[in-house]
Amino acid sequence: MSSAAVANHLTIPTPDDWHLHLRDGDLLATTVPATAAVFGRAVVMPNLVPPVTTVAQALEYRNRILAQVPAGSSFEPLMTLYLTQATSVETIVAAAAEPAIIGFKLYPSGATTNSAAGVTDIEALDEVFAAMASHGVPLLVHGEVTSAEIDIFDREKVFIDRYLRPLLARHPQLKLVLEHITTADAVEFVEKAGANVAATITPQHLLMNRNDLLVGGVRPHNYCLPILKRRDHQLELRRIAASGHPRFFLGTDSAPHAQSRKETACGCAGCYSAPAALPLYAEFFEQMNALDKLADFASGFGADFYGLPRATSSVTLERHQWMVPATVATAVGPMVPYWAGEPLQWRIKQ
Ligand SMILES: NC(=O)N[C@@H](CC(=O)O)C(=O)O
Ligand SMILES: [Zn+2]
Ligand SMILES: [Zn+2]
């Protein structure tokens, strides 16, 4: 049924970004205000070089982030620690006692940007996962295998079957977020799992499929990992995100790389979506005729899953067409944001 009047304003509780890369150093002056302009909290990924592996490093990184939060903003970074083969049970216990730290991030070594220090033997970390489960510390997972013989488009599904199902069988209480899901297989896995398993979904995986990466020329700014999949998978992600399922929620995976590192013979993986993040999701929910589902996806389900309070402040979107800028100037050179030069139908009301 089409509604009689088309709403031009949409007010939702202040959203949170449950998967974000802010990087470090001078770039924080760009990335922190971009996210703090709209989001109340964000889960900050630890894949710096060197990675954030200790509580002390995470708290220092958090202070560098807080130093860039604009006056008047109450933006709160939720820090993660980078799981390595050397992570100890003591570090899990220390992180569990530190409220500024929300969980540990598992990168299979070699799977993505800055993952060289990641995990090479998941089973060998079983004591660490047991400690996480018993202390209620969430495990956030980049779910892709890295074996050379596995096709890049199959790497998420194979990771789920080869590692995630066994991991949850060994630790059924482990709180686990499968990050930036890209396949129908991941949707089904999370849907069938228990209340302790959830997933984040990025704007690019809702709005695009691999045609948007490869048809008519290679589009480096649509290249991220896990790579965009075929349309059937995109449609499953769209279905579940618009369905109001409480264990699928917003995580932009905004991942800035300098233009020169994207537009090159071996371009970096990652889409810098922060400058347009919430309008991008609004675009998707409107395409699905499900704008009424945006609030829970963006501002409710993630907080519920992590056991944090929902926001009491709000953000208003207004229907007003605008173009995502072609580039954003930063201290490390220009960046091309995701959806650059393309229109969006909703913008943040100032
Ligand atoms: N998603 C990406 O393509 N890149 C991310 C890493 C990650 O989240 O896998 C990055 O840090 O650039
Ligand atoms: Zn990742
Ligand atoms: Zn990421």
The three-state secondary structure class of 270 is coil
Exposure string (b/e) for 255-288, b if CB count within 10 Å is 16 or more? bbbbbebbeeeeebbbbbbbbbbbbbbbbbbbeb
Q: How far, in Å, from the CA of 322 to the mean position of ligand 1?
A: 27
User: Is 50 exceeded by the pLDDT of residue 150?
Assistant: yes
Is residue 269 within 6 Å of ligand 1 at its C-beta?
Answer: yes
According to DSSP, the β-strands at 16-20 and 41-44 are: parallel
pLDDT by residue (tens digit) across 104-119?
Answer: 999 999 999 999 999 9
For residue 175, give the H/E element and its range. Answer: none
Amino acid identity of 206? L
Under a CB-based contact definition with an 8 Å cutoff, are residues 15 and 298 in contact?
yes
Q: Is 212 a catalytic residue?
A: no
Taking CA atoms only, the protein residue closest to ligand 1 atom 6 is: 113
Is residue 112 within 6 Å of ligand 1 at its C-beta?
Answer: yes
Dist. CA 92–CA 253, nearest whole Å: 24
Is residue 221 within 6 Å of ligand 1 at its C-beta?
Answer: no
pLDDT by residue (tens digit) across 21-60?
Answer: 999 999 999 999 999 999 999 999 999 999 999 999 999 9
Average pLDDT of the residues of the chain: 97
Does the interface ipTM go beyond 0.95? yes
Under a CB-based contact definition with an 8 Å cutoff, are residues 74 and 96 in contact?
no
pTM of the model: 0.98
Residue ranges of domains in the chain, CATH in brackets: 15-311 (3.20.20.140)
Is residue 227 within 6 Å of ligand 1 at its C-beta?
Answer: no
**Angle, nearest 10°, between helix axes 184-192 and 231-243?**
30
**Looking at 253, 292, 296, 304, which residue is catalytic?**
253
Q: How far, in Å, from the CA of 301 to the mean position of ligand 2?
A: 20
